[in-house]
Amino acid sequence: MTTTPPSPPLDAANLARIDRLAEALTGADAVLVGAGAGLSVADGDAHAGPAFEARFADFHAARGITDAYSGGFYPFPTPEEKWAFWARNILLQRYESGPGAVYRDLHALLDGRDFFVLTTNVDHRFQNSGFPKDRLFYTQGDYGLFQCSVPCSQDTYDNHDAVVAMDAAERAGAAVGTPMRVPTHLLPTCPRCGEPLTTNLHADDTFVQDAGWYAAAERYVAWADAHQSGRVLHLELGVGMNTPGIIKYPFWRRVHANPEATYACLSLEAGVLPEIAGRSILIDADLGAALSALRERLG
């Protein structure tokens, strides 16, 4: 279970905005949630900071890797070393780092409401927090899946057993003086074509969108089409400007087209389209503290 770091206190201006958000959520017919990396950061994820540094001290010393993002793009000299890093990283991010208080607060706030979640997060925290899978569309992939690196098909593969085996073998090797290396025979290969497998994360145009991805996309489109009018709260959580075309800009367009809709942005980078400013609530504060305060107001 993740330990969520303590949140700084909210100032008076943001507390007033949270009161407005509580009213908007109470009066909403439906809620469309857009969740970015900032939500998991607020929840105490292990992509950087002490948890990552403690687990990857060897890769930091040898390769200068300071966080999961930069490590994911590092040009490792061998596939054996690459998979030593990735197996450990997937275990930490996907299988060991469970949801903390921030996701639990969000789940409680949405419980019993008509909602859908659109997210760029790949860490499975929504599912692990009890959110129903049929109300989730995680557009950028899943740490828990492999795909062919070519790719030769649009199939994905559960990676739990492979990751556990690679990490265990790397640790055994480290104990006898050969760290940061996975045995060659454990390197994951495509069962169809024999080429290397890779992570099912959207880094380039080889990203595989499998049958589950398309089914989730269809559910999202159907839900969004059914909620083009009415009091729909568009709740944007921790979304930056890395991929604004997935969540932020579509939310702005939807709110602009629906005069009854409300846009709420909880982010230290909170901003809004001027045309919808009058129906927007911008909370530029710690996301965890804001959701906790919102939950307190709604009992």
265 is in an annotated binding site: no
pLDDT of residue 6: 52
Angle between the 160-175 and 79-90 helix axes, to the nearest 10 degrees?
Answer: 110
pLDDT of residue 299: 78
Say how far apart CA 53 and CA 49 lie, in whole Å.
6
Q: At 283, is the secondary structure helix, strand, or coil?
A: strand
CA dihedral 108, 111, 113, 119 (to 10 degrees): 70
pLDDT in tens, 28-74: 999 999 999 999 999 988 889 888 999 999 999 999 999 999 999 99
Looking at domain 1-45+99-140+208-299, which CATH architecture does it have?
3-Layer(aba) Sandwich (3.40)
pLDDT of residue 1: 43
Q: At 142, is the secondary structure helix, strand, or coil?
A: strand
pLDDT of residue 241: 87
- Across the range 119-131, mean pLDDT stands at 95
Give me the residue spans of the domains in the chain.
1-45+99-140+208-299, 47-96+147-201
Say how far apart CA 270 and CA 80 lie, in whole Å.
42
- Across the range 110-118, mean pLDDT stands at 98
Look at phi and psi of residue 141 and say left if phi exceeds 0, alpha if psi is from -120 to 50, else beta.
left
pLDDT of residue 142: 97
Tokens representing 68 are 């999961």
Tokens representing 11 are 């100032």
pLDDT at 4 over 70: no
pLDDT of residue 269: 77
pLDDT at 78 over 70: yes
pLDDT in tens, 147-166: 999 999 999 999 999 999 99
User: Minimal CA–CA distance to 186: which of 159, 208, 150, 153?
Assistant: 159
User: Minimal CA–CA distance to 229: which of 254, 195, 248?
Assistant: 254
pLDDT of residue 87: 98
Say how far apart CA 90 and CA 199 lie, in whole Å.
9
190 is in an annotated binding site: yes
